[in-house]
Amino acid sequence: MTALFFCALMQASHASKTPEITDAGAFLDQTESLRIKDHRHFAERLAQIHRESPALTMAEQWHLRYLDALESSLEGNYAAAEKPLHEVIDHSGDPMLAAKASALLMNNLAVERRYEDAFKLAQQLTIDLPRIQDKTVRLQVLSYLSQMLNLAGQTDLAIKYAHMMEDTVPSVTNSCYARSKLVAALYNAKRLTSSSPELKQVINTCEAAGQPILTTTGQLILGTLFLEEHQPAKTLSLLDRIAPAIRLNQYYPHALSAQAQRAQAYEQLGEDEYARKAALAALAMASPNDISDYLKDAYEVLYRVAKRHDDTASALVYYEHYVAQNKGSLDDAAAQALAYQTVQQRVLTRKLETEELSKQNSVLKLQQALDAKAAEASRLYITLLIILLAAIAFWLFRTLHSQKRFKRMAIRDGLTGIFNHQHFISEAGRVLRLMEKRRGHACLMSIDLDHFKQVNDTHGHVMGDAVLKHAVAICQQHLRPVDLFGRLGGEEFGILLHECCHNQGMDIANQIRLAIEASPMEKDGSAISISASVGLAATDTSGYELLRLCTEADAALYRAKRAGRNRVIADTESDGLLEA
């Protein structure tokens, strides 16, 4: 019975005049709108546009090619339609036209029983569906999809697409198309009874929409349901009522279906002779190689009637035909279902492969992201480590520098850089103990600049500092690294000469004094004369005790001052003072 809906879109044509082609695009659109309503007029207009060959844009040329393919399809010449439809799909560059071409090609392929190719297109159209925004095209695609899925036994999907059709373009005609697909799917799903509201709706809507073929299709389904519900009288009454419309429509599947139903109804009523005649009338309509459910029903009726009347030979022949039709019909259904499953399986496999690839891709991406993060973290750690090491190094440097500074501050005089008093005394004590052990000699000098107060008073304190540094530098020129040199306070300095006896000490002290005297301080082109008094004590005359050496050197210095300054005086054991 599904076949009733299949390719049932052609309607008896009405003669009408063809206008002149002024706007080719509009002319093509109007022509397309006639494709179902008025096939003859549609064909005439196509012939006209080819005859008059108006100048067409590229888009119009593609549209015309599609309409030519549509015409071939409506004429049943599916082979002629296939190539142009493929060209429109692949090269027109117009997604809506390509969608219409795909839907039409899918329908043609199904009619030719090339189910696998048809379902491949159905699969693609299902994917493209959300992008098909043009409502008319969408309606057309949904209609073909519902039909295809119904063929494949996917009735739930077929019902879903039929509902979507009704929502797409609300109009009586579209409602008729949508409800036809819905009823076909519901019937196939065995969800219809003779009292189902959907059935009444489709008959009434299609009648109101002026769609006689679809109206009759609905009515024939009702007839079949009456038969399934064992109400043959109702079937016959219905068939009588719609007979004029069937004759007028001249639609072969309807005529065949009606005849087969009539045979079944008579058989159910026990009217075997009427049943036999009706079944033979059905067979008479068919071509020798036709395979259909209606022929199967007719042969079944003939077989049972012959059997009941003990016409075994005829019964056997009819039974063979019945089996052939049944097998053909079952084979066709099986081929449809198998093709659908094959395409679905391929799609599923591709999907799984894609998912697997995308999973692998995700893992790779994740890995890359992790690697990048790890590299970033490593860079961060390295940077932090470098900063930390730099901070530690800086801290160490600062600490060592500070320690060095503090150490220096602890042992050196801030102005002159030589040992301070405390460190000089401690070092001098150590060296004297060493000398005492080795039985070596050392000399302790106490040096004091003369009249230094006057330098400060005359030239200022800053100049006084410069003179102090100048005097220290002169002294250092006469000392060895092993000798100790310290500032004992103010303008007074101490020197401990290492491995040095009394006489050597006197010589060095004198050299220093003379050098100071001979090196006046330069200031603004004039010279500031300086001199120093020196007191000397030596271990070979005063022993190794530091306190005694200091006391004696100081006493000698005091005497040098009193004796007139700028001189060296040594304390001796015998005669007290010895002036150099």
Ligand X SMILES: Nc1nc2c(ncn2[C@@H]2O[C@H](COP(=O)(O)OP(=O)(O)OP(=O)(O)O)[C@@H](O)[C@H]2O)c(=O)[nH]1
Q: Which parts of this chain interact with ligand X (CB under 6 A)?
A: 415, 448-453, 456, 461, 464-465, 468, 490-491, 561, 565
Are the C-beta atoms of residues 539 and 441 closer than 8 Å to each other?
Answer: yes
**Least distance from ligand X to the Cβ atom of residue 428, Å:** 21
Q: At its nearest, how many Å lie between ligand X and the CB of residue 487? A: 8
26: tokens are 């509009």
Whole-number minimum distance, CB 478 to ligand X, in Å?
A: 21
Phi, psi of 456 (to 5 degrees): -60, -50
Question: Smaller CB distance to ligand X: residue 2 or 519?
Answer: 519
Q: Which is nearer to ligand X, 110 or 560 (CB)?
A: 560
Assess contact for 179 and 189: CB atoms under 8 A: no
Task: Indicate the DSSP class of residue 460.
Answer: -
- The 10 Å CB-count burial string (b at 16+, else e) for 267-303 is bbeebbebbbebbebbbebbeeeebbbbbbbbbbbbb
Task: Check: CB of residue 224 under 8 Å from CB of residue 1.
Answer: yes
- Minimal distance in Å, beta carbon 399 to ligand X? 31
Nearer to ligand X, 314 or 456 (CB): 456
Identity of the residue, 77 or 454, whose beta carbon is nearer to ligand X in the bound complex: 454
Residue 510: both structure tokens together: 């004198």
Distance CA 491, CA 446 (A): 11
Comparing CA positions, the residue from 149, 125, 147 lying closest to residue 137 is 125
- Cβ nearer to ligand X, comparing 1 with 536: 536
CA-angle at 472, arms to 468 and 474, nearest 5°: 120
Give whichever of 465 and 545 is closer to ligand X, judged by the CB atom. 465
Helix (H, G, I), strand (E, B) or coil at 442: coil
The residue number with the shortest CB distance to ligand X is 464
Q: Which is nearer to ligand X, 43 or 468 (CB)?
A: 468
What is the number of alpha carbons within 13 Å of residue 307 lying toward its C-beta? 12
Question: For the chain, what is the radius of gyration of the CA atoms?
Answer: 63
Closest distance of CB 451 from ligand X, Å: 5
* CB nearer to ligand X: pick between 501 and 555: 555
Least distance from C-beta 528 to ligand X, angstroms? Answer: 12
In the complex, least distance from residue 527 CB atom to ligand X, rounded to whole angstroms: 18
172-188 and 212-228 helices, crossing angle to 10°: 30
Nearest to ligand X of 166, 448 (CB atom): 448
Residue 420 phi, psi (nearest 5): -80, 175
CB of 385 to ligand X, least distance (A): 50
The distance of Cα 269 from the centroid of its chain, to the nearest Å, equals 71
Which residues, other chains included, contact 309 with Cβ-Cβ below 8 Å and sequence gap of 6+?
272
Torsion of CA 299, 273, 240, 14, to 10 degrees: 50
Considering beta carbons, is residue 184 or 468 the nearer one to ligand X?
468
| Residue 485: CB minimum distance to ligand X, A | 16
Report yes or no: 423 and 484 within 8 Å, Cβ to Cβ: no
388 or 409: CB nearest ligand X: 409
Measured CA distances, 34 to 31, 74, 171 (Å): 5, 12, 17
CB of 510 to ligand X, least distance (A): 18
Q: Based on CB atoms, which residue is closest to ligand X, 340 or 493? A: 493
CB atoms within 10 A of CB 256: 24
Q: Which residues pair with 496 in a beta bridge?
A: 444, 484
Sign, CA dihedral 462-465-469-474, equals positive
How far is it, in rounded angstroms, from Cα 416 to Cα 447? Answer: 15
Q: Which helix (H) or strand (E) holds 421?
A: helix 421-438
Q: Which residue's CB is nearer to ligand X, number 206 or number 553?
A: 553
Q: How far is the CB of 563 from ligand X (least distance, A)?
A: 12
- CA 330 and chain centroid, separation: 50
Separation of alpha carbons 336 and 149, rounded Å? 10
Q: Name the minimum Å distance from CB 535 to ligand X.
A: 12
User: In the bound complex, what is the minimum distance in angstroms from residue 546's beta carbon to ligand X?
Assistant: 23
| 545: β partners | none
Rounded-to-integer distance, Cα 78 and Cα 80, Å: 5
* Identity of the residue, 86 or 459, whose beta carbon is nearer to ligand X in the bound complex: 459
Q: How far is the CB of 454 from ligand X (least distance, A)?
A: 6
Q: How far is the CB of 437 from ligand X (least distance, A)?
A: 36
d(CA 149, CA 152): 5
Q: How far is CA 85 from CA 20, 101, 180, 186, in A?
A: 27, 5, 26, 31
Nearer to ligand X, 318 or 419 (CB): 419
